[in-house]
Structure 1
Amino acid sequence: MSDAKPRVLDVGQCDLDHSNITRMLKECFDATVDRARDNAQVDHLLDFYEYDLILVNRIFDADASSGQDLISRLKSGDAATETPVMLVSNYEDAQDTALLSGAVKGFGKSALGTEETIKLLSLYLSGK
């Protein structure tokens, strides 16, 4: 993208986790963070905005939808996006499945704000 702030779509998080993720992204990267609670909101926002990164919760808080299914949908078929998609989950097996579906390496909520996570996110959000 351009010299504008990085823009992140955060999908499926509960209020507390969304707040914590947003705070970290704003403090570390001066990012604009949009929120989608479900698949319909994801589709709507993707119609209007381009994102530098899409963060996806393993299981959506609002309706228990599968984040893995969203990743598969976003990374395959006619709707495939070039935007990096990252799973937010502490479970290594879930991270492995996401990678096989086309996601980039993600992080767990327990690692939120750590140097390792910030370094990982900087691959997609620094220098925007």
Structure 2
Amino acid sequence: MRAVRTHVIDIRIVRYIAASVGALAVDMGLFLGLLAVAMPAAAAASLSYCAGIVAHWLFSSRAVFQDRVANSARGRHVQKALFVGSALVGLALTTGIVGLFDFLGSDPLFGKLVAVAASFVVTWLIRSRVVFRAEG
């Protein structure tokens, strides 16, 4: 039974990585586009991250944690609220890190890459252990 559980976790993290790559594509594409039209880096990072949040919810609830989506409408609303909360933590990290890199005169794109790594780890932990926690 332990081997089956480990296998499910391994598959889930692979799917989460794939979902994150998809959401990151949305995020980075918009981020680069907004920088190209001279939007301030921190604002561009915030807006593009929000677009990535929507994409990530769709991927996560349908392909990563589909077996852990609440059955009741109330339960799904709670999960969505918790997901948004986890995304806001990621958004704060992203905005803060990109803003700091920009303030220090560093390349905002490098700051965004650092923020992506930090946000990935933190949101995975929140989503796998809180938002879509296994019942029982």
TM (normalized to structure 1)? 0.30
Higher helix residue share:
2
Structure having the higher strand fraction is 1
